[in-house]
Amino acid sequence: MTADLPIIRLRPKSKPQAIRHGFPWVYADEVVTDRRTRAIAPGAFAILEDAERRALGLVTVNPNSRIIARMMDPDPEAQIDGEWLRVRLRRALTMRERLYDAPFYRLIHAEADGLPGTIIDRFGDAAVIQPNAAWADRMIAELADALRAVTGVSTIVLNGQSRARGLEGLDERTEIMSGAIDGPIEVPMNGAIYLADLAHGQKTGLFYDQRPNHAFAQRLAKGARVLDVFSHVGGFGLAALAAGARRATCIDGSAAALALATGGAKAMGADDRLEVRQGDAFDQLEKLAAEGAEFDLVICDPPAFAPSKPALEAGLRAYERIARLAAPLVAPGGYLGLCSCSHAADLASFRNASARGIGRGGRRMQLLHSGQAGPDHPTLPQLAESGYLKALFFRLDG
């Protein structure tokens, strides 16, 4: 295969040590981008060499992306075919089956599972693939075939609606590749039942990454009045109800997501303890304060306010504002959970913004717990972006 592949080469001043030590990306300004490099089709494979022409591995190339190359295999002789895909899927499946009793989890977490730019979430007999890199989009049929062979799932949905696809120059599309979707799928998690809309829902239909943070919140929720802000399909709210919360209120801008939250509560027999409020989260927090509302546990899990470095300062201000508005709603001695899924905001920056907001909301605090994504979202230590999720739980006095 090597003899048939083009070669891309690092510039003389680029340091290959990071690649040799496991960093999976090569940026466009690190390689010699001559006419032949620019002519490589997005998603095609090439051999990456250092400036001394020593092979570093087999990469996938996208001249349209700032990340011009992603490491596929450190063996330059590797054959990226169906068997190569099945090996990686089997390895990922073996770990998830050890971790979880039921087949509801993230099966492939992109680079950390050896399939760059590719997300696969499993929902029992169904799975959703997000091909967020050009190679995965190009090999989507082979990916689906390998997924069926390894897991036995019958329904596969392609969800191509992510921001990452735009950065790769890929179009948006959604397609049911096999099987059928008759409606939302019930997903058991932490004793709760969630409804995931695989065909029309946000991202893959459900956020598995918060599972351990839902579990921690459940320890605070028994008998509590709970507010779940940016709830999506009821993530923290339904987990709290499953743990014996007195009542849960879910706030989200999406009527469809709140309908799924209500459906999940009904499936649990807890719909009489759930209230939903549709609208802008900032506005709803201000309205609740004006109403004199008070909760024993408030959790805010917003979308990525800082998805990139240029957005970092504005994003941190937004996280601070959320904390400032949420803190006054927490009863004395109650708890506040604040979450961030922003790649660009590291833990220290997010923690500082949260603490500033709580202080400006007139409250004193103790930081009880810092959480991250579950083990079905493994991190690649060399790639900070793979460890994006942060969850902070505070106890508030005053």
Q: Where are the domains of the chain?
A: 2-73, 82-178, 186-397
pLDDT at residue number 164 = 85
Whether residue 148 has pLDDT greater than 80: yes
Q: Would you say residue 308 has pLDDT above 90?
A: no
* Residue 229 CA to its chain's centroid (Å): 18
For residue 1, pLDDT beyond 60: no
Matching residue, tokens 């003389």: 12
Residue 3 is predicted with a pLDDT of: 60
- Choose which CATH entry (3.40.50.410, 3.40.50.970, 3.40.50.150, 3.30.230.70) describes domain 186-397: 3.40.50.150
Tell me the CB-side half-sphere exposure of residue 185, using CA atoms within 13 A: 26
CATH assignment of 2-73, among 3.20.20.450, 2.30.130.10, 2.60.200.20, 3.30.465.10: 2.30.130.10
Residue 16's pLDDT is 85
CA distance 141 to 73: 20
Please report, rounded to a whole number, the percentage of residues in the chain having pLDDT higher than 90: 89
For the chain, count helices (H), then strands (E): 12, 19
Rounded to 5°, angle at Cα 181 from 180 and 183: 155
Region 132-159: mean pLDDT is: 97
Range 1-22 average pLDDT? 86
> What's the pTM?
0.94
Task: Identify the three-state secondary structure at position 55.
Answer: strand
Phi and psi at residue 265, to the nearest 5°: -60, -40
Q: Which residues of 57-72 are buried (b: 16+ CB within 10 A; e: fewer)?
A: bbbbbbbebebbbbbb
Q: What is the mean pLDDT of residues 144-171?
A: 93
Region 335-344: what's the mean pLDDT? 95
Q: What is the pLDDT of residue 385?
A: 84
pLDDT at 260 over 60: yes
Q: How far apart are CA 28 and CA 16, in angstroms?
A: 14
Residue 2's pLDDT is what? 58
Q: For residues 46 and 134, what is the distance between their CA atoms, to the nearest angstrom?
A: 14
- 96, 167, 102: which is closest to 132 by C-alpha? 167
Tell me the CATH architecture of domain 82-178: 2-Layer Sandwich (3.30)
Please spell the DSSP secondary structure of 62-131, one letter per residue: -TTSSEEEEEEES-TT---SHHHHHHHHHHHHHHHHHH-SSSEEEEEEGGGGTSTTEEEEEETTEEEEEE
| Over residues 154-179, mean pLDDT | 91
pLDDT in tens, 218-249: 999 999 999 999 999 999 999 999 999 999 99
CA dist., res. 193 & res. 341, Å (int): 23
Give the pLDDT band (50/70/90) at residue 352. very high
pLDDT, position 392? 98
Averaged pLDDT score across all residues of the chain:
95
The pLDDT of residue 23: 94
- 18-31: average pLDDT: 93
Confidence grade of residue 313 (pLDDT, cut at 50, 70, 90): very high
